[in-house]
């Protein structure tokens, strides 16, 4: 007989209780009750009784949402994000919140106020980031599906490092109402799961129009329609720039073996060139830090979260920010403020926007002749905890293959495609704007 939602939920909670990976930050004490209600209502809704974990930067009514930062300690949102409303309507059971890099600024989940999350494949290694908790808990079997957010790779990177599937949908596809902003012109919420079908089923629930996000696009789509084994005549473009300097040989091999598998299934491939890829990282970091410096101005101790003592408002706000933000967040606020300041604005911020247009044009051109682009999600597998912590630039470099996608706003999915020295490798499949169904079909046929 099928187990009840209550039994399923209880068994995941038991597994989480034994966890050693520090993936969850907060557990919901409502989960069992919600599951019981779903059982008594006879399992209504497409996700009835499905347990799900939510990244710490997505607002959940009554459940702590801190962006893994000291500055939001104690903050409990009075409302649900759009995606949470949708999940609840669909019958999903929210198990708890997951660890992340502070304010989603990172590639390793080491900058969290709650301490690092450990990669379940090797506890000495990072799970990737910034949605490291969301990927690790799925990989460890602590929850079947989760939500993360991806500003420059934060769903795809941890998916690749933890050997799970993760999608960054087209910009405008999923409402960000209730997502605490890091860099709004780049970010999207995206699901993570152990398989492509679960990703499509979550997308069917969370994607769609919402008038509370001005970038939300009104466009109907059924993602699960794409769950077909069929890549016959699919045209794949392989950007040579995605196999650049510093790429791990075994990652490279795993990706080419995967492309050969697509050929066996009836697809064809050609090499393509995306010449502005080498400028994408610089453009991304200027834009992301500039937007972050503006977005994070609201955290001053007045309205929510942590508040330091001070004899007047100015002292209180400045001490709150000095004590509440970690070093990476401060670095980005300072650099972003600098890039936006009078005299430097044209030289850095406007230049970065122009480069962004060139990167986007690379995608328009390449995707005009092929159905999808494929390459490694990350140039190398998960690194050791602490290995890059003192060298921010080496961390930023790991994002070389993921940030161009956010600059262009196109959709991209990472699927496990092999191992490098025992650690998972992710294949990145990139599509045209709003053509999630083609990348989902490719990923489904491949897995
Ligand atoms: N690693 C990138 C950064 O640090 C991407 C983060 C993200 O997608 N949120 O900005």
Protein residue with least CA distance to atom 4, ligand 1: 106
> What distance in Å separates the CA atoms of residue 184 and residue 232, rounded to the nearest whole number?
37
291-316 confidence digits (pLDDT tens): 999 999 999 999 989 999 999 999 99
User: Ligand 1 atom closest to Cα of 395?
Assistant: 1
Catalytic pick from 28, 55, 86, 432? 55
Question: CB under 6 Å to ligand 1: residues?
Answer: 104-107, 130, 150-154, 182, 288, 399
**Distance in Å, CA 134 to ligand 1 centroid:** 14
402-413 confidence digits (pLDDT tens): 999 999 999 999
**Distance in Å, CA 154 to ligand 1 centroid:** 5
Whether the per-residue pLDDT at 269 is higher than 80: the answer is yes
Do 324 and 69 meet the contact criterion of CB atoms below 8 Å apart?
yes
68 is catalytic: no
Catalytic pick from 108, 111, 130, 414? 130
Going by pLDDT thresholds of 50, 70 and 90, the confidence category of residue 2 is low
> What distance in Å separates the CA atoms of residue 67 and residue 65, rounded to the nearest whole number?
6
> What distance in Å separates the CA atoms of residue 104 and residue 189, rounded to the nearest whole number?
12
> Closest Cα partner for 47 from 180, 198, 165, 178?
198
Across 172-181, 229-238, 384-393, least confident range: 384-393
> What distance in Å separates the CA atoms of residue 51 and residue 16, rounded to the nearest whole number?
12
**Distance in Å, CA 412 to ligand 1 centroid:** 15
Burial 16-31 (b: 16+ CB within 10 A, else e): beebebbbbbbbbeeb
> Nearest 5 degrees, angle CA 38-CA 100-CA 334?
140
Do 20 and 114 meet the contact criterion of CB atoms below 8 Å apart?
no
Provide the Cα torsion 94, 96, 102, 108; round to 10°.
Answer: -100
Protein residue with least CA distance to atom 5, ligand 1: 152
Catalytic pick from 154, 293, 412, 445? 154
11 is catalytic: no
User: Which mutation among 56, 101, 102, 414 tests ligand 1's pocket best, with the greatest number of atoms within 8 A of CB?
Assistant: 101
Residue with tokens 């300097």: 245
70 is catalytic: no
| Length of the chain in terms of residues written | 447
241-264 confidence digits (pLDDT tens): 999 988 999 999 999 999 999 999
Do 260 and 238 meet the contact criterion of CB atoms below 8 Å apart?
no
The CATH label, of 2.60.40.1170, 1.20.1260.120, 3.90.1300.10, 3.40.50.300, for the domain at 1-447 is 3.90.1300.10
Going by pLDDT thresholds of 50, 70 and 90, the confidence category of residue 3 is confident
> What distance in Å separates the CA atoms of residue 411 and residue 435, rounded to the nearest whole number?
7
Average pLDDT over residues 124-150: 98
> What distance in Å separates the CA atoms of residue 392 and residue 101, rounded to the nearest whole number?
13
> What distance in Å separates the CA atoms of residue 405 and residue 407, rounded to the nearest whole number?
5
Do 306 and 73 meet the contact criterion of CB atoms below 8 Å apart?
yes
Q: What are the boundaries of each domain within the chain? A: 1-447
Residue with tokens 């459940």: 63
Q: What is the DSSP letter of 180?
A: P
* pLDDT recorded at residue 66: 98
> What distance in Å separates the CA atoms of residue 443 and residue 447, rounded to the nearest whole number?
6
Total-model pTM? 0.98
> What distance in Å separates the CA atoms of residue 190 and residue 192, rounded to the nearest whole number?
7
Dihedral sign for Cα 198, 111, 324, 342, please: negative
**Distance in Å, CA 153 to ligand 1 centroid:** 6
Whether the per-residue pLDDT at 1 is higher than 70: the answer is no
Tokens of 233: 């005549």
Whether the per-residue pLDDT at 208 is higher than 90: the answer is yes
399-447 confidence digits (pLDDT tens): 999 999 999 999 999 999 999 999 999 999 999 999 999 999 999 999 9
47-63 confidence digits (pLDDT tens): 999 999 999 999 999 99
Protein residue with least CA distance to atom 10, ligand 1: 105
């Amino acid at each position: 007989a099928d187990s009840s939602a209550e039994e399923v939920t209880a068994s995941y909670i038991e597994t989480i209780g034994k966890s050693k990976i520090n993936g969850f930050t907060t557990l919901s004490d409502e989960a069992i009750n919600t599951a019981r209600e779903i059982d008594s209502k006879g399992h209504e809704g497409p996700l009835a009784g499905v347990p799900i974990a939510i990244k710490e930067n997505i607002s959940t009514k009554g459940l702590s949402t801190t962006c893994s930062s000291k500055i939001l300690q104690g903050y409990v949102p009075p409302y649900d994000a759009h995606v949470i409303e949708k999940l609840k309507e669909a019958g999903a059971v929210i198990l708890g919140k997951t660890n992340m890099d502070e304010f989603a600024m990172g590639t390793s989940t080491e900058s969290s106020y709650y301490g690092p999350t450990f990669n379940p494949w090797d506890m000495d290694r990072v799970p990737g980031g910034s949605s490291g908790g969301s990927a690790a808990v799925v990989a460890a079997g602590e929850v079947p599906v989760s939500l993360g957010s991806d500003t420059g790779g934060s769903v795809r990177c941890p998916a690749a490092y933890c050997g799970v599937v993760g999608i960054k949908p087209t910009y405008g596809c999923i409402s960000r109402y209730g997502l605490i902003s890091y860099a709004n012109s780049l970010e999207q919420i995206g699901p993570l799961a152990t398989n492509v079908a679960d990703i499509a089923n979550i997308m069917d629930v969370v994607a769609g129009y919402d008038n509370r996000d001005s970038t939300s696009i009104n466009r109907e789509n059924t993602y699960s329609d794409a769950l077909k084994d069929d890549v016959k005549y699919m045209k794949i473009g392989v950007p040579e720039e995605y196999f650049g300097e510093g790429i791990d040989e075994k990652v490279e091999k795993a990706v080419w073996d995967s492309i050969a598998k697509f050929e066996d299934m009836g697809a064809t491939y050609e090499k393509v060139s995306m010449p502005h890829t080498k400028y994408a990282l610089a453009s991304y970091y200027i834009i992301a830090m500039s937007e972050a410096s503006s977005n994070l101005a609201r955290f001053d101790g007045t309205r929510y979260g942590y508040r330091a003592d001070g004899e007047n408002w100015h002292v209180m706000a400045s001490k709150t920010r000095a004590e509440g933000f970690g070093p990476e967040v401060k670095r980005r606020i300072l650099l972003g403020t600098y890039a936006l300041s009078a005299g430097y604005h044209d030289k850095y911020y406007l230049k970065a926007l122009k480069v962004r247009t060139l990167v986007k044009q690379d995608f328009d051109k390449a995707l005009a002749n092929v159905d999808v682009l494929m390459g490694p999600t990350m140039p190398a597998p998960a690194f050791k905890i602490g290995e890059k912590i003192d060298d921010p630039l080496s961390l930023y470099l790991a994002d070389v293959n993921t940030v161009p996608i956010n600059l262009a706003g196109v959709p991209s999915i990472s699927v496990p495609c092999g191992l490098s020295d025992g650690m998972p490798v992710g294949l990145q499949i990139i599509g045209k704007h709003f053509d999630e169904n083609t990348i989902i079909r490719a990923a489904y046929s491949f897995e």
